[in-house]
Structure 1
Amino acid sequence: MAVPGDPPNGTPEGFGGGDDELRPDEYRSVVFDEDFVRAARLQEFSAQERMGEHARAVRSRSIWSGGGSAGRGNGTPGRGARQGMLLVLLIATAFAVAVYLGLRNPYVPPAGGGAEPLGSTVVPLAPSSAVPGGKPADLYAQSPAADYRTGAAGITLPAVRRTHHFTESQVLAALSIAKDYLVQSSLDPDVLSGAASRPVRVLLDPGQLAQFDESMTSPSGDGRHAATGWLVRFDPQTAVLADSRVRVDGVLAFEETSPEELVVTTDHTFVYAVRGAAGPDAASLFTVRRELRLRFDHEDLTTRRAELTSSYVMAGPQDCAADPAGGFRPLLAGAGPTTVGPPVSDPYANGHPRRAAGLCGVMDPAGAASAPPSSTPPSQPAQSSEPSRADQAAGTPVARPQAPPPPASLSPGR
């Protein structure tokens, strides 16, 4: 008996008959139910959909259409769709967390947090005789600064070579930053007049900015907050520059102190021609000897900043009784020493003691300009009952604290 689907004339010879031979065993376990159809990756368009122009026979099914019994008949996504949406949600969440941690990383250390505070010493040098006056060019010619170079040209770099952990270019960068610091802190007219401090501030390690700002706003001779430890500044009520061409001489040196640290030391003498702030008085010379120690790590070299760790300054002629922490107060042409010793120190006073109290030297006469022959002799200072400083000076250029016995002479020149 023929079954539906058999050929009209029977099964041809050579072909087996029956459902068992037409349907192999491997297909008998496949059930083409609704879940199987919904899970197919391809879906055939209906006859009406295929009648459209440029219509395709099939379309791909995305994971959003899903499949399975959970989504059957109620319009909700199936299990595959839910898994796809969950995967996308997890990826989006991970990306958002990565962006957040990149913008606000709690493990980034604060910039400059390990910077060492500056320790500074400022020693005023009192004149041993009347301060010579005259024209700046004549004063320079009669002083040890006659052969000094002018301005930044006097700050020359040493021969550059690489160290064990710093390349030649990194050493050159450290020396260049140190020179920039010297130029901005010792030669900038606005810095010298006290009108600006930012040119120096931008070159400092961020960890020292708070100390620097306090030194500028509330200078103190406590060894930490002297403005003149950071830069050269004249009291604008006392003196101004008579000549912008400052004479400079000195040396720079460098050494590697650790695999992460390069140290540059500077030793320079700056000679300024100054006059009184009140009127067109005769000019006089004011000499500042600065010995600085600047430390650099690899980050400092990249950002072009320095960490000033120590500063030793001798400056004169000044009165030992005047505190030089806030700004230098030069003794001008014709003036002489007004005090023999430094100001008294009260060990019982509260607050921050002046650590530099008792530090005062006598300026070596060889380091001061002699009066030019063509200049008018300066007026003689009032006679003092104390012995002359020239008689007190021993002539030896050795620095030591001023005490009741006569101190040794100090020479800020080279």
Structure 2
Amino acid sequence: MAGRGNPPEGTPDDASGGDDEYRDDYRSVVFDESFIKAAQLQEFSARERMEDEEHAAVRNRALPSTAETSDGELNTTYGRGSITASRQGIVLVLLIVLAFGTAIYMGVRNPYQAPPQPPAEPMRNSLLPLAPRDQVPGAKPADLFQHSPAAQFRAGADGVTLPPVRRTRHFSESQVLSSLTAAKEYVVSSSLDPAVLSGNAVRDVRLMLDPAQHEQFDQSMDHPRNDGRHSATGWMVRFDPSKTTLADPRIRVSGSMTVQEAGPDALEVVADHVFVYAVRPTQDGQGEKAEEHSSLFTVRREVRFEVDREDLRRQQLSVEQVSMRAGPLPCSADMSDALAPLMAGEEAKDDGAAGTDPYARGRSSASLCGVLSTSSQPSPAAQKDD
């Protein structure tokens, strides 16, 4: 075999430059010992290929790693580079996991996290009974409505109309419409639903409320009291079913709704409506004769709602404040649980409102009382037509 500096077939005959010149010409194609040791592939020998015909022609070689011994010589080992790389990868993974765990721990223990959203404000209500000056007029429902200020009112939910819908600074037109729609549904359910009016249903009204107000609502239903926050009639209009029943299911309604921003994250909706109910005594039973003893009961109800972004997502709302004036009622009427109107032919006794003790601590349970104007009652023509 030719030497390392000579080509495989020996020195060409016409080579004129000698060995040095020959080596210079072939230096770029000659494989020295360092090049061979650095190769990653190694060819199998002829014997190995004869013993195993299916054996691959070449195999991978472990790269050598060179270290200097104590006597200054170079010590070459194979395969240690891959082991070192594996250890470095493991260390890197451990460092990443440690950093990620530390970030989670600091996030959980961070004392500067954003404060939770404040709970919904409790509902506040004011209820004012309106006492008539004279006897309550009685007639058939159609005659009563025709000769009253409610003659041109719409019937039922048609009387609860929405205002023109426009976007605000922080809420889109669709969000404003959603808040108005939720408020209308609450007004209709809490003031016009026959099941609610009869005192037999409260669930539908409760479902419309922000969950933060459920506890107050439940307390108002279970233990109603005239303290400005726990009156059942603050949440809804309902009558004492043992005394009062509807003489006509078509309740007359007129009013308005407005909406404005209560801040960058909430809308305020105000629903101000007059509801006129044709009622009669429960003990009169059914039939045309019973209808002749019907009378009108008027409720002026202003409800102030707040609808935040979470309420919009859940299609719920918060009732902030309710102001209600209703009559004909006696001044001494307890309106906290249910309404018991004066019926046809009855008049308010000279009982006056409950006395108020200025020395008593806390909120007074005494009710104020107003006078129901004669002009708000059906005219005498209603009874004459009957």
Shorter-chain TM-score: which interval? Answer: 0.7 to 0.9
Between 231-240 and 168-177, report the one with greater CA deviation. Answer: 168-177
1:401 is matched with: none
Quick one: which of 180, 183, 188 aligns to 2:185?
180
**Residue pairs, 1:8-407, within 5 angstroms:** 10-12=10-12, 13=15, 15-16=22-23, 22=30, 28=34, 51=54, 78-85=83-90, 110=116, 113-280=118-285, 281=290, 282-346=293-357, 353-355=363-365, 357-370=366-379, 371-375=382-386
Q: Distance in 1 between matches of 2:86 and 2:144?
A: 92
CA contact 2:244–2:281 (8 Å) conserved in 1 = yes
User: What fraction of aligned residue pairs are identical, expressed as a percent?
Assistant: 47
The verdict on how the C-alpha distance between 1:238 and 1:302 changes in structure 2, with shifts beyond 3 A counting, is same
Task: Tell me the SS of whatever aligns to 2:384.
Answer: coil
CA shift for structure 1 position 271: 0.7
CA shift for structure 1 position 153: 0.7
Q: 2:191 is aligned with what amino acid?
A: S
The verdict on how the C-alpha distance between 1:274 and 1:50 changes in structure 2, with shifts beyond 3 A counting, is farther
What does the per-residue CA deviation read over 1:33-69, in whole Å, with 9 as the maximum and x for residues that have no partner?
xxxx9xx7x99999799828xx89779x9xxxxx999
Task: Tell me the SS of whatever aligns to 1:341.
Answer: coil
CA contact 1:68–1:79 (8 Å) conserved in 2 = no
Q: 1:329 is aligned with what amino acid?
A: A
CA shift for structure 1 position 97: 9.8
Between 183-192 and 234-243, report the one with greater CA deviation. Answer: 234-243
User: What is the total number of aligned residue pairs between the two structures?
Assistant: 350
Q: Distance in 2 between matches of 1:99 and 1:190?
A: 52
What does the per-residue CA deviation read over 1:328-347, in whole Å, with 9 as the maximum and x for residues that have no partner?
11122222213431123456
CA shift for structure 1 position 316: 1.2
Q: Distance in 2 between matches of 1:223 and 1:253?
A: 24
Q: Distance in 1 between matches of 2:52 and 2:3?
A: 35
The verdict on how the C-alpha distance between 1:153 and 1:9 changes in structure 2, with shifts beyond 3 A counting, is closer
**What root-mean-square deviation, in Å, do the aligned CA atoms of Structure 1 and Structure 2 show?**
4.5
1:391 is matched with: none
Q: Distance in 1 between matches of 2:150 and 2:265?
A: 38
What does the per-residue CA deviation read over 1:63-85, in whole Å, with 9 as the maximum and x for residues that have no partner?
xxxx999xx99xxx934334445
Where does structure 1 lack aligned partners over 5 or more consecutive residues?
A: 62-66, 376-414
The structure with the largest alpha-carbon Rg is: 2
Q: Distance in 1 between matches of 2:276 and 2:87?
A: 82
CA contact 1:205–1:306 (8 Å) conserved in 2 = yes
- Structure with a larger share of its residues in helix: 2
Q: Distance in 2 between matches of 1:58 and 1:326?
A: 94
Where does structure 2 lack aligned partners over 5 or more consecutive residues?
A: 16-20, 68-76
CA contact 2:269–2:306 (8 Å) conserved in 1 = yes
Q: Distance in 2 between matches of 1:363 and 1:346?
A: 26
What does the per-residue CA deviation read over 1:295-348, in whole Å, with 9 as the maximum and x for residues that have no partner?
333443343332322211001112222210111111222222134311234566
CA contact 1:291–1:311 (8 Å) conserved in 2 = yes
The verdict on how the C-alpha distance between 1:90 and 1:171 changes in structure 2, with shifts beyond 3 A counting, is same
The verdict on how the C-alpha distance between 1:179 and 1:98 changes in structure 2, with shifts beyond 3 A counting, is farther
TM-score by length of 2: 0.73
1:379 is matched with: none
The verdict on how the C-alpha distance between 1:267 and 1:86 changes in structure 2, with shifts beyond 3 A counting, is same
The verdict on how the C-alpha distance between 1:246 and 1:170 changes in structure 2, with shifts beyond 3 A counting, is same
CA shift for structure 1 position 121: 0.4
